[in-house]
């Protein structure tokens, strides 16, 4: 059970699996009402079935009409929205910039950055009317150090930081807070797969790649997805009421990435 109590109405995007699922579950454990969305129906339905009280919608955050329907569903289930966790994102292509297609670039920016704008746009008026709200945007530690061959991903996630700071300034007078979390090396299926792919490309063992990655993390640590969830819960709680416009690493301090 999360130590912090949050009696709020929460939307978490892309919460059928991964970090989003962990975030949704930590908010539930803290006492919040939670509505999630995902593009994968099986994952969405499985997460809802495993967490009584959770509600959800199928939605691609890169499609404005689907975001509008998802927010309307959330309001229908919960009566309003107090917290938005913008978690949805894709890795995008891994290639030299000149080899990236226009379509792959556009899709990465659309999901990772435009999707956050669409979601914030659709909850902002609700939060302004109640003169309270908390928005948590999930960026990445890669936004601090850059990452060769991942230009659309990094560009989109750096854009998230600019969006976060601007939203914090623009909506602060209505007591709406906006912060970004920058996760590091996440200990889940996706994180382990990333390292496995690096090992395969370099022709070395997974243990060697893990050692090389951890060498450039100050605490030499993986991050459990629930840690990101607990930080989001804290930011949405009374204890975090004066925290806004911040870029908060949940990464053990990523110094560099290989």
Active site residues: 153
Cβ-count burial of 46 within 10 angstroms (0-12 exposed, 13-18 middle, 19+ buried)? Answer: middle
Phi-psi region of 256 (alpha: psi -120 to 50; beta: other; left: phi over 0): beta
Residues facing residue 138 across a β-bridge: 181
CA 150/CA 97 separation, integer angstroms: 8
Give 223-256 as a 3 state SS string. ECHHHHHHHHHHHHCHHHCCCCCCEEEECCCECC
CA 166/CA 245 separation, integer angstroms: 8
Please enumerate in sequence order all residues whose Cβ is within 8 A of that of 173, keeping only pairs 6 or more positions apart, or say none: none
Edge-first strand order for the sheet with 247-250 is 55-58, 33-38, 9-12, 83-86, 133-138, 176-183, 247-250
CB 134 within 8 A of CB 235: yes
Query: What is the distance in angstroms between the CA of the first residue and the CA of the last residue of the chain?
Result: 36
């Amino acid at each position: 059970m999360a130590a912090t109590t949050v009696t709020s109405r929460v939307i978490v995007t892309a919460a059928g699996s991964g970090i989003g699922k962990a975030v949704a579950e930590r908010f539930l454990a803290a006492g919040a009402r939670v509505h999630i969305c995902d593009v994968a129906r099986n994952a969405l339905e499985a997460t809802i079935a495993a967490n009584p009280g959770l509600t959800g919608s199928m939605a691609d955050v890169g499609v404005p009409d689907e975001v509008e329907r998802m927010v309307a569903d959330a309001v229908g289930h919960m009566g309003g929205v107090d917290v938005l966790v913008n978690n949805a994102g894709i890795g995008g292509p891994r290639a030299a910039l000149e080899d990236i297609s226009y379509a792959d670039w556009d899709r990465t920016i659309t999901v990772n950055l435009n999707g956050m704008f669409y979601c914030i746009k659709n909850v902002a008026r609700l939060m302004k009317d109640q003169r309270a709200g908390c928005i948590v945007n999930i960026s990445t530690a890669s936004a601090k150090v850059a990452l060769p061959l991942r230009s659309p991903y990094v560009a989109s996630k750096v854009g998230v930081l600019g969006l976060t700071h601007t939203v914090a300034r623009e909506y602060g007078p209505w007591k709406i807070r906006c912060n970004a979390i920058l996760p590091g090396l996440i200990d889940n299926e996706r994180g382990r797969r990333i390292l496995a792919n690096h090992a395969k490309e370099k022709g070395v063992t997974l243990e060697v790649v893990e050692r090389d990655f951890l060498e450039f993390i100050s605490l030499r640590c993986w991050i459990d997805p629930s840690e990101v969830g607990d930080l989001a819960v804290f930011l949405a709680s009374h204890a975090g009421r004066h925290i806004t416009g911040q870029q908060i690493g949940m990464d053990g301090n990523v110094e560099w990435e290989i």
